[in-house]
């Protein structure tokens, strides 16, 4: 075991020239707390079972629980500044050091997983959410990705049912810090787990109507009501996961200036690797949705099916070069535009209060990206689609190099 763990836990030999079990078990700064098999404080000298690990919440604690008589923005922001902690064994009969904690059981090859990730992750684009406000209020859904990695090695949301961290009793709640919002608090419609099954993993944020673009801070944590008080704890943090605060960029409705996307742009806009390829909603492969799929494209082409609605009060004519996509640091106009029957056109006219469907195609767009040749199904690229400078849709897109098709990102 020492030879396997030393390179990743950075535990060296002592002055006696030997590795010491205590050093491995106490290397808490390097041990990934979301790994299923790692040292935990349990009062037993011999190997422990998965149920015994679960009884001590797999060594996870919340050292700073915020309590409040009311569910307020201040309490939520306070909780978001905290984190989940990892309690390591301290030695002795109450919490002995066990080499066997790093493996599932005697003779089992399943063991410590250094690349484990948080079991609760908010689907959050690299540069923040971008959402289009309209003439009426619109609901933007924030998704929590529960159990994103292999349950054999990585802790899952259903592993946390010990007293104090039982996700069957906690809900997700968001506080939007912005003067433009009259309602600031939004929560999931159910507890995170219900009878051990994933339940409340979404939060609907009502975006106020009106005009003007702005950025709001969003704070997301978990809460429960217990013994007449609200208790609030943070989402588990690690690297870029579950940042705080998160950013929500609100953009003007492009429909009012001649052509925008009505409704949810991630559901209404479809994407493919070729004009004659399989089209899927943007929600399938972006962080604006559940991002359960990645698009695979050999030539690096991108095709978007866009429904444009004009509410400007007069007929709007839009040239192909009015459309632009920013993909990471690449800016490009589409080389081709097609009508709903996929016939090539150079412009499109939209009567007032009418909707038209067009296709926009970019040749070899992805090949201009750094790291494209080494991309995988988990590679994501920030994008924004605009029309004459008016925002249409944007998020982080999952796409990679390979033979044409769609690949499931779920484990």
Give pLDDT, residue 152. 93
What confidence tens digit (pLDDT) does each residue in 223-273 have?
999 999 999 999 999 988 999 999 999 988 788 889 999 888 999 999 999
Query: Residue 211: what pLDDT?
Result: 72
Give Cβ neighbours of residue 73 (< 8 Å, ≥ 6 apart): 175, 177, 184, 185, 219
What is the reported pLDDT for 21?
63
pTM over 0.85: no
d(CA 395, CA 230): 34
Residue 161 is predicted with a pLDDT of 83
Please give the Cα distance from 138 to 108 (Å, whole number): 52
Distance, in Å, from the CA atom of 176 to the CA atom of 140, rounded to the nearest integer, reads: 12
Q: What is the pLDDT of residue 111?
A: 86
Residues 93 and 31 sit within 8 Å (Cβ to Cβ)? no
Model pLDDT, residue 130: 87
pLDDT of residue 253: 78
Tell me which fold the domain 120-252 belongs to. Immunoglobulin-like (2.60.40)
Chosen CATH of 255-408 out of 2.70.50, 1.10.405, 1.20.1260, 2.20.180:
2.70.50
Where are the chain's structural domains?
120-252, 255-408
According to the model, what pLDDT value does residue 6 have? 55
d(CA 133, CA 98): 56
pLDDT value, residue 283: 94
* pLDDT tens per residue across span 373-391: 999 999 999 999 999 888 8
Residue 254 dihedral angles phi and psi, to the nearest 5°: -70, -15
Give residue 15's pLDDT: 57
Distance CA 124, CA 286 (A): 10
Residues in the chain with pLDDT values less than 70: 1-25, 27-29, 135, 410-411
Whole-number pLDDT of residue 297: 95
Q: What is the pLDDT of residue 410?
A: 67
């Amino acid at each position: 075991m020492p030879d396997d763990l030393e390179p990743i836990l950075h535990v060296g030999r002592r002055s006696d020239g030997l590795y010491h079990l205590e050093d491995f078990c106490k290397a808490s700064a390097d041990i990934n707390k979301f790994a299923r098999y790692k040292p935990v404080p349990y009062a037993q000298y011999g190997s422990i079972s998965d149920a015994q690990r679960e009884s001590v919440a797999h060594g996870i604690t919340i050292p700073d629980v915020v309590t409040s008589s009311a569910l307020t923005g201040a309490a939520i922001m306070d909780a978001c500044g905290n984190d989940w902690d990892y309690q390591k064994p301290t030695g002795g009969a109450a919490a002995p050091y066990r080499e066997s904690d790093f493996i599932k059981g005697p003779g089992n090859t399943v063991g410590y997983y250094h690349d484990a990730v948080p079991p609760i992750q908010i689907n959050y684009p690299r540069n923040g959410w971008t959402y289009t406000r309209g003439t009426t209020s619109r609901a933007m859904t924030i998704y929590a990705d529960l159990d994103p990695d292999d349950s054999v090695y990585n802790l899952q949301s259903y592993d946390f049912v010990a007293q104090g961290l039982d996700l069957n009793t906690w809900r997700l709640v968001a506080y939007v810090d912005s003067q433009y919002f009259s309602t600031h608090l939004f929560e999931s419609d159910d507890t995170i787990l219900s009878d051990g099954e994933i339940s409340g993993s979404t939060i609907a944020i009502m975006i106020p109507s009106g005009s003007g673009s702005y950025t709001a801070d969003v704070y997301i944590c978990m809460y429960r009501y217990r013994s007449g008080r609200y208790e609030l704890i943070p989402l588990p943090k690690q690297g870029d996961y579950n940042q705080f605060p998160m950013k929500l960029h609100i953009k003007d409705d492009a429909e009012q200036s001649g052509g925008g996307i009505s409704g949810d742009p991630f559901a209404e806009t479809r994407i493919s690797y070729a004009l004659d390829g399989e089209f899927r909603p943007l929600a399938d492969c972006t962080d604006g949705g559940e991002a359960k799929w990645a698009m695979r494209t050999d030539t690096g082409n991108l095709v978007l099916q866009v429904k444009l609605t004009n509410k400007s009060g007069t007929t709007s004519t839009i040239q192909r070069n009015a459309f632009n996509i920013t993909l990471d640091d690449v800016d490009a106009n589409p080389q081709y535009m097609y009508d709903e029957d996929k016939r090539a056109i150079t412009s499109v006219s939209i009567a007032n209060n009418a909707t038209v469907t067009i296709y926009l195609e970019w040749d070899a767009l992805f090949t201009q990206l750094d790291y494209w040749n080494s991309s995988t199904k988990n590679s994501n690229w920030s994008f924004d689609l605009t029309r004459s400078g008016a925002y249409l849709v944007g998020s982080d897109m999952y796409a990679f190099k390979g033979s044409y098709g769609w690949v499931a990102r779920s484990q």
